[in-house]
Amino acid sequence: MQGAGPAICLGRDIDTDLIIAGRYLRTKDRSVWAEHVFEDLDPTLAGRIRGSVIVAGRNMGCGSSREQAVVALREAGVVAVVAESFARIFFRNAVNVGLPVVEASVACTDGSRVAFDLDSGWVEVDGMRYPARPLSEKMVAILRAGGLVPYWRSCR
């Protein structure tokens, strides 16, 4: 499974409150989350995030288990999230909603072209290749299906 896009670089310890603030949680309307994604971090991000790859530091997605955070990123059109390490629930959630996550330590600046291949386990930034921590077969299968719900349907 492959993908690519321009990088949006963020720091470390980005918590799920920063991805989508608690005040937007009481709805089932997913477009609301996409609209307000990263609002408390940088209010301009939501408007320019579509088609890009988020590149974060360590402990991406720490904090509350709110799945709305990964849904917001997916709905906002984020292609994948690359990070040095992920908070584990965020990581599981991302796989479950079909948002590719790549654990790798890369050097990058905003706008760098980032490409990744989940099967072979690598990520490239402006042509420079880095190894990525491999996912289990089941995780890749879930991602390829587009998330746990379509995966579940295809298995029954």
Partner 1 sequence: MSTLSEAILGAPAGRYVDREVDIAFAHDGTGVLAHEALREMGVKRLPHPDRLRLVFDHIVPANTGTTATLQAELREYARVSGIALSDAGGGICHQVMSEGVVRPGTILVGADSHSCTLGAFGAFATGVGATDMAAIWASGETWFRVPETIAVNLTGRLSGPAEPKDVALAYVADLGMEGATYRALEFTGDGAATISMDGRLTLSNMAVETGAKTGMFYADPVTVRYLADYGVTASSQVPEDCRYERTVEIDLDDIVPLVAVPHRVDTVREAEEVAGTHLDQVFVGTCTNGRYEDLARFARIVRGKKVAVRTLVFPASRAVLARAIATGVLADIVDAGCVVGSPGCGPCLGAHAGVLGEGEVCLSTANRNFKNRMGVGGEIYLSSVATAAASAITGVITVPEVA
Answer yes or no: are the C-beta atoms of 10 and 53 closer than 8 Å. no
Dihedral over Cα of 47, 48, 49, 51: its sign: positive
CB of 26 to partner 1, least distance (A): 5
**Nearest of 116, 60, 49 to residue 93 by alpha carbon:** 60
- Pick between residue 88 and residue 129 the one whose CB is nearest to partner 1: 88
128 or 149, CB closer to partner 1? 149
Nearer Cβ to partner 1, position 48 or 138?
Answer: 138
Q: Which residues would be at the binding site for partner 1 (CB under 8 A)?
A: 12-13, 15, 17-18, 21-23, 25-28, 40, 58-59, 62-68, 70, 85-89, 92-93, 96-97, 136, 138, 147-149, 152-153, 156
Taking a C-beta distance cutoff of 8 angstroms, is the pair 111, 7 a contact?
yes
Name which of 52 and 85 has its Cβ closer to partner 1. Answer: 85
Tokens of residue 153, six digits: 């349907």
User: Closest separation between CB of residue 13 and partner 1, Å?
Assistant: 6
CA 139 to CA 99: how far, in whole Å? 11
